[in-house]
Amino acid sequence: MANVTPKQVLWYIPNQIGYTRVLTAIVSFFLMSKHPIWTTWIYGVSCLLDALDGTMARKYNQTSGFGAVLDMVTDRSTTSSLICYLCIAFPKYAPVFQLLISLDLSSHYMHMYATLSSGGASHKKIEKEQWLLHLYYSHRWALFTICAFNELFYLGLYLYAFPQLWYFNVPMIGPAHIGGILAGVCLPGYIFKQVANVVQMNRAAMLLATKDAEAANMKQT
């Protein structure tokens, strides 16, 4: 069997899907201020492809460290960019959105760095004692569902910024905006994701602190 070259890794099928995610996300950014329907569809395609790259990686045995990083960086970049628009659409809540971006980026960076520093093979390999993170990362259905709720919650807020869009009559509530309905339905999953981010960051901090303590104790012996 011929040796795999770095160029071949870059063009693995799941990584090509990752590049498509990046391109569709960029297109949605340029449409975001004036074309909410097109933005929702194109941004949604970018998010849905996130579920496909992992499947293709396993099917064709094309898992790679580069692909894992590309996937995580794309996830964080697309979500953060959408939240940036929400800061403009809802300036009163900009500090809250800024904190949410900071939590998301910090949690995932620390998680991946701690995993690699501790010799872990994948940031998705979580010990069973961390039941919430183990549920989140070890079951693809849970990971996909929670991530979908997270993105749909933000998309709901995004659509809510366009009052000219559809309203529906909800029993016992009255007229409700499609964006508000979407955000309300996805709120439980969204909250779970934020709690997971906090737990993930705490776990990463403990892993790094444990490694630092061991290194400090080695110097004293």
Which residues carry out catalysis?
75
Q: In this structure, what token pair is assigned to residue 214?
A: 């061991």
- Taking the C-alpha atoms of residue 162 and residue 159, their distance in angstroms, rounded to an integer, is 6
- Taking the C-alpha atoms of residue 16 and residue 78, their distance in angstroms, rounded to an integer, is 17
